[in-house]
Amino acid sequence: MCEQAGNSYMGVPEAAKKWEVPEEKVRKWCREGLVFEETTVCKYAEQDAPRRPWRIPIGAKCPER
């Protein structure tokens, strides 16, 4: 987990462990825009650039089971 501009994020390994799914599935969901946290403004998983680690909001829900 890391802090970015006052927001809490987790990485792909943390999300995969939390949701009990493979890391590649989490990356796929991030690329497809399926990972986000619903607040007054939706916070989606984001990257600084291609091939950089994904930052996933701590409150994001697992897209599917």
Residue 47 pLDDT: 81
Closest CA to 25 of 8, 41, 37, 13: 13
% helix / strand / coil in the chain, to the nearest 5?
25, 25, 50
Residue 6 pLDDT: 54
The radius of gyration computed from the CA coordinates of the chain, to the nearest angstrom, equals 11
Closest CA to 46 of 20, 22, 65, 2: 2
Residue 4 pLDDT: 47
Domain boundaries, the chain: 2-57
Chunk the chain into consecutive blocks of 10 residues (it has 65) and report each block's average pLDDT, rounded to whole numbers.
61 95 95 84 78 89 81
pTM of the model: 0.79
